Structure 1
Amino acid sequence: MKKRSIYAWALYDWANSAYVTTVIAGFFPVFFKEYFSANVDATVSTAQLGFANSISSFLIVLMAPFLGAIADIGGLKKRFLFLFSYLGILMSAALSFVGEGAWEAAVFVYIIGNIGFMGSNIFYDSLLPTVAGEKELDRVSGLGFALGYLGGGILFALDVWMVQNPALFGLESMEEGVKVSFLSVALWWMVFSLPLFLFVKEEKPDNDFNAGRLVTEGYQRLKGTIRKVVQFKGLVYFLVAYWFYIDGVDTIIRMAVDYGMAIGFEPKHLILSLLIVQFVGFPATLLFAKLGEKWGTKKAILLGIGIYLIITLWAAVMEEVHEFYLLAVMIALAQGGIQALSRSYYARMIPDAYAAEFFGFYNFLGKTAAILGPLLIGTVALFTESSRAGIISVVLFFIVGGIMLLRVDEKKVAKEVRSALG
């Protein structure tokens, strides 16, 4: 039963990572520049995409902590996960019906889809302590991200094949292939999310709550969450560190393809680079999880931050497309590991009874960070008329995040938090 719930939980990453690979990182940035925002200057479309990413992150920021608190009180993690995931599924399918030049409609659907994707992850993350014991957190969290790379990569590879050979699939054009790929994401996400809903059991609260009381209690608990967090200095250090370095990670995920196009690389090279990230990222994430168990989770995260620092500095000066491929391999080595180990590192420091509430706050900070990076790149690109100038600003996030993380002692923090909160 426990193994089944672990694999059912991890399989959700396999399901929803298709949205990241095919929509957020893959076809949407390319299709947005060449189809939805056709005949618009490259720096303007970069700004439009950056602002769309920032707006969706800002909106989920407003909801995340409050909904997390309500989910803990009412035992509603799976229900909220279902609601947000199927919102993302519907919007992914809706992208296939947006016409050429309709960038406003594309941005609207994309923003709502991102809210569905990011919102579902709050409650997915909060179920990690439910399915895994403390000693299993790194391994199980890493398994989720690794399956995400593999599943997202498999569907993305099939979609790339379809887009590049539309006649083989009975389609008339590459554009039609991209639209069908958006539909394929919706179907993939829907089917492979079912095991989590069927086999992961969520503990129900002792008392029944009506809707009005849930909202009131959720608001009170949200205020309490902030008071709880700020009283633990080590937890604050980690969350601030996370805020900075995950900003850099998320910004590179969302803007890498757009950046590559802006500096003159052909879309086919960028798409192939994304496939490399997916299939190298699968074993690399599992290895990073093992490294976290053997070497220490914090040290492994710091290694990932160091790799990203090199990636960002190199990206700002690269000239040749082969450099983009090398950077893709480096991203694949670090991306899943830094995400998975950050999640398990945080899970070690918080009590299970407050998991959704505290993960709501964790995602709140992560999504707040995701506002700043794309917004900064878009703004700098507009004012300097240089995408390279925007990417170099991301370096600051990794430097500050790494310095703050050095000050965290997770065992001491966990002891303080659990002693105070039970």
Structure 2
Amino acid sequence: MWKLLTEKKVLSWALYDWANSAFATVMLAGLFPIFFKEYLSADQSATTSTFHLGVANSAAGIVIVLLAPILGAIADAGQARKRLLLSFASLGMIMTVSLYGVAEGAWLTAAILYALGVIGFMGSLIFYDALIVKVARPEQYDLVSGYGYSLGYLGGGLLFSLDVLMTLYPAWFGFADAGEAVRFSFITVAIWWAVFTLPLVFNVPADEGLRLPMFKAVRGGFRQLRTTFQEIRKLRVVSLFLLAYWLYIDGVDTVVRMAVDYGMSIGFDSNDLIIALLITQFVGFPAALLFGMLGQKIGPKAGILIALGVYFFVTTWAYFMEEVYEFYMLAVVIGLVQGGVQSLSRSLYARIIPPEKSGEFFGFYNMMGKFAAVIGPVMMGTVAMLTDSSRLGILSITLLFALGGGLLLLVNVKEGERIAGQL
């Protein structure tokens, strides 16, 4: 196992998870939601700022929904997975750095820059996920996918820890106040993301075959997109899995992006919430790798179903939560399963699709995942606004875990593997 995990191309691929998780922890889950609510939206109610942040996340999700399958097909046609990964990652880095200069109260400007950063982050993952077929064999997907998420939790957690220290003790680092420290943390995210992307650039194998000019790749990509969509419609196992994934990953993404906002809405101190996020990151590091091993033993489908049961329990518990220690306990539980459900979903999907068409098929995979991100945050924000209850907003997410898990039970993984091998 360790020989595989230390192989240059596998480690370099997994380090991109370490790289981009800086954005996931600091921007999606951690400091930016607090900064948005306390600094950029200080003159607004808690439910209004929740709604605005949800809309920003959902707007980015809509763009990815529209682009993901097209970009995946173009990447396969033009042999451009790595080039497009770097293009989207660069967009995310530039937008993240730009947030440093946003003035107090300028929530709309910040929301736009943040949404563009999210587009860069999510867009790069289309091609990162697809590159798993370049670094591992099918029987290795569960372990390698879990390895990536494991490094992501560790890397994201380390940078997040540094940024939290800067925020809690700004004078130690030469900052005037916590606000200046938080804004500087956005710069650290971009630097971290850029530096740890380099191993993938140099060590992950390039796509083989003829590299078409971009206009021909676009034309070929649209033609291939039509073919792939027709294939997915015929592949019942793939279609059913994508529908299940769409529903349950909605709940996972919403918990990631809105947990801190929810905690603040029910009266918890932002510093306590930051500590809870750190707990999730460092619990998630070994747990994601262990889930990869679990997937090899009992199968990825069974592992995902276990994780979804835990998520259903967690979101129900969150509705009744009153004390901050409960938030800490929930952080531990989420850390145990969050990376597992993400990594095993990726590896299960890689098993049931033709590897030579991974870009376009993962384009649809990411489309369904990001379409979920369109619905989840807005649903939570809307329920909170209409009922004037953030608790009911979080409780609404349980429906997504229940429906997604029910559909996943119907997915026949062995049949999907057999059909994928024949295409």
Q: Normalising by structure 2, report the TM-score.
A: 0.98
SS at match of 1:17: helix
Q: Which ranges in structure 2 are unaligned for 5 or more consecutive residues?
A: none
| 1:143 matched residue in structure 2 | 147
| 1:298 matched residue in structure 2 | 301
Query: Does the CA contact (< 8 Å) of 1:67 and 1:360 recur in 2?
Result: yes
Aligned counterparts of 2:88 and 2:214: Cα–Cα separation in 1: 18
Q: Which amino acid aligns with 1:210?
A: P
Aligned counterparts of 2:354 and 2:323: Cα–Cα separation in 1: 49
Aligned counterparts of 1:331 and 1:211: Cα–Cα separation in 2: 42
| 2:239 matched residue in structure 1 | 236
Aligned counterparts of 1:97 and 1:322: Cα–Cα separation in 2: 35
Compute the displacement of 1:213 (Å): 2.2
Compute the displacement of 1:203 (Å): 2.3
Alignment of 1:90-169 (within 5 A): 90-169=94-173
Q: Which amino acid aligns with 1:370?
A: A
User: Is 2:311 the counterpart of 1:308?
Assistant: yes
User: Is 2:183 the counterpart of 1:179?
Assistant: yes
Compute the displacement of 1:232 (Å): 1.2
Q: Which amino acid aligns with 2:245?
A: Y
Aligned counterparts of 1:315 and 1:203: Cα–Cα separation in 2: 45
Q: What is the CA deviation profile of residues 122-173 of structure 1, one whole-angstrom value per residue up to 9, with x for unaligned ones? A: 0000000110011111111001000000000000001101111111111110
Query: Does the CA contact (< 8 Å) of 1:85 and 1:120 recur in 2?
Result: yes
Query: Does the CA contact (< 8 Å) of 1:247 and 1:369 recur in 2?
Result: yes
| 2:30 matched residue in structure 1 | 26
Query: Does the CA contact (< 8 Å) of 1:73 and 1:205 recur in 2?
Result: no
Q: Which ranges in structure 1 are unaligned for 5 or more consecutive residues?
A: none
Q: Which amino acid aligns with 1:340?
A: S
| 2:212 matched residue in structure 1 | 209
Aligned length: 419
Q: Which amino acid aligns with 1:271?
A: I
Query: Does the CA contact (< 8 Å) of 1:301 and 1:342 recur in 2?
Result: yes
Compute the displacement of 1:317 (Å): 1.3
User: Is 2:170 the counterpart of 1:170?
Assistant: no
Q: Which runs of 4 or more aligned residues in structure 1 lie more than 4 Å from their structure 2 counterparts after TM superposition? A: none
SS at match of 2:30: helix
Query: Does the CA contact (< 8 Å) of 1:74 and 1:205 recur in 2?
Result: no
Q: What is the CA deviation profile of residues 320-365 of structure 1, one whole-angstrom value per residue up to 9, with x for unaligned ones? A: 1111111101100000000000000100111111000000000000
Query: Does the CA contact (< 8 Å) of 2:25 and 2:156 recur in 1?
Result: yes
| 1:45 matched residue in structure 2 | 49
Query: Does the CA contact (< 8 Å) of 1:74 and 1:204 recur in 2?
Result: no
Aligned counterparts of 1:6 and 1:125: Cα–Cα separation in 2: 13
Query: Does the CA contact (< 8 Å) of 1:232 and 1:417 recur in 2?
Result: no
User: Is 2:404 the counterpart of 1:401?
Assistant: yes
| 1:247 matched residue in structure 2 | 250
Compute the displacement of 1:398 (Å): 0.6
Aligned counterparts of 1:96 and 1:169: Cα–Cα separation in 2: 17
Aligned counterparts of 1:378 and 1:297: Cα–Cα separation in 2: 32
Q: Normalising by structure 1, report the TM-score.
A: 0.98
Q: 142-151 or 230-239, which moves further after superposition?
A: 230-239
What is the percentage of aligned positions where both structures have the same residue?
A: 53
Aligned counterparts of 1:416 and 1:89: Cα–Cα separation in 2: 39
Q: Which amino acid aligns with 1:215?
A: V
Aligned counterparts of 2:233 and 2:272: Cα–Cα separation in 1: 46
| 1:56 matched residue in structure 2 | 60
Compute the displacement of 1:378 (Å): 1.2
Q: Which amino acid aligns with 1:365?
A: M
| 2:260 matched residue in structure 1 | 257
Compute the displacement of 1:409 (Å): 1.5
Query: Does the CA contact (< 8 Å) of 2:352 and 2:416 recur in 1?
Result: yes
Compute the displacement of 1:222 (Å): 1.0
Aligned counterparts of 1:263 and 1:55: Cα–Cα separation in 2: 25
Query: Does the CA contact (< 8 Å) of 1:381 and 1:389 recur in 2?
Result: yes
Aligned counterparts of 1:186 and 1:93: Cα–Cα separation in 2: 6
Backbone CA RMSD of aligned residues: 1.1
Q: What is the CA deviation profile of residues 86-125 of structure 1, one whole-angstrom value per residue up to 9, with x for unaligned ones? A: 1111111111111100001100100000000000000000
Aligned counterparts of 2:28 and 2:236: Cα–Cα separation in 1: 35
Aligned counterparts of 1:205 and 1:47: Cα–Cα separation in 2: 47
